[in-house]
C-alpha cells in the first residue's frame, strides 16, 4: 500500500523528534513494510508479487507498526496515521499480538502524540522539549528548529 505524503511528513517529524528526545539508552528504527510491489500474472491468471513473496519468506509480517522504540527492556510500537487515518485489520491484529506479548502500542497522529506517550513512559531527555510551535532544544538552535519554524 502506498503511504500518503501527509503521513510521510508526520513520520519524518516524529523521527526527528525521537533522534533528539530519546535518552542515550534507547534506540528506534522504522519498519519499511509499505511500498509498491510489482505484480506478475501467471498464464493461469493468478496475480502475485515476487518481491512480496520474498519479503514474506524472510519474515516480513503484514500490519507491523511503522516505528519501534526499544528502551529499558520495553518495546514501544508506534503506528503513524493522519488525523483521519484508520488502522487496517492486519494492523489491529498485530497490535493485539504485541500487546499480549507485553509491548506498548500506540496509534499516533502527531509529534505531540509521541511526546505525550514518551512523557507518560518517562522516556525523554530533560533537555528536549516540544513547545507550541514544535521541537526546540534549550542549548542551541538546530536544523529541526528551522524545519519546524521555531
Can you tell me the distance from the alpha carbon of 64 to that of 51, in angstroms, rounded to the nearest whole number? 17
The answer as to whether 50 is a domain residue is yes
> Does a structural domain hold residue 93?
yes
Cα gap 31→22, rounded to integer Å: 18
Distances, alpha carbon 25 to alpha carbons 70, 73, 128, 137, in Å: 9, 10, 15, 19
Q: In 25-126, which residue ranges form alpha helices assigned H by DSSP? A: 50-57, 89-100, 111-121
pLDDT band at 90 (very low <50, low <70, confident <90, very high): very high
Q: What is the pLDDT of residue 82?
A: 96
Residue 59 domain flag = yes
Give phi and psi for 30, each to the nearest 5. Answer: -95, 150
Please name the helix (run of DSSP H) or strand (run of DSSP E) that holds residue 104, with its range, or none.
Answer: strand 104-108
Q: How many domains, in total, are found in the chain?
A: 1
* 11: in domain: yes
Residue 106 lies in a domain: yes
CATH number at residue 87: 3.40.1350.10
DSSP states along 121-145: HT-S-TTEEEETTEEEESS---HHH
pTM greater than 0.85? no
The model's pLDDT over 33-69, given as tens digits with 9 standing for 90+, comes to 765 556 666 677 776 666 667 777 777 788 999 999 9
Residue 41's Cα: distance from chain center in Å? 33
- Asked if residue 150 is part of any domain, the answer here is no
- Domain assignment of residue 149, yes or no: no
Is 80 exceeded by the pLDDT of residue 118? yes
**Host domain of residue 104:** 5-141
Residue 30 covered by a domain: yes
Contact 125, 101 (CB under 8 A): no
Amino acid at each position: 500500500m502506498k503511504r500518503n505524503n501527509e503521513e510521510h511528513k508526520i513520520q519524518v517529524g516524529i523521527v526527528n523528534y525521537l533522534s533528539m528526545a530519546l535518552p542515550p539508552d534507547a534506540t528506534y528504527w522504522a519498519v519499511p513494510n509499505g511500498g509498491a510491489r510489482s505484480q506478475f500474472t501467471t498464464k493461469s491468471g493468478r496475480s502475485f508479487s515476487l518481491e512480496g513473496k520474498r519479503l514474506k519468506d524472510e519474515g516480513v509480517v503484514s500490519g507491523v507498526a511503522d516505528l519501534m522504540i526499544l528502551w529499558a527492556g520495553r518495546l514501544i510500537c508506534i503506528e503513524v496515521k493522519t488525523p483521519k487515518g484508520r488502522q487496517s485489520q492486519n494492523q489491529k491484529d498485530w497490535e493485539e499480538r504485541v500487546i499480549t506479548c507485553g509491548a506498548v502500542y500506540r496509534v499516533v497522529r502527531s509529534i505531540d502524540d509521541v511526546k505525550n506517550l514518551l512523557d507518560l513512559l518517562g522516556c525523554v531527555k530533560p533537555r528536549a522539549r516540544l513547545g507550541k510551535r514544535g521541537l526546540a532544544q534549550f542549548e542551541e538552535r538546530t536544523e529541526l528548529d528551522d524545519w519546524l519554524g521555531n
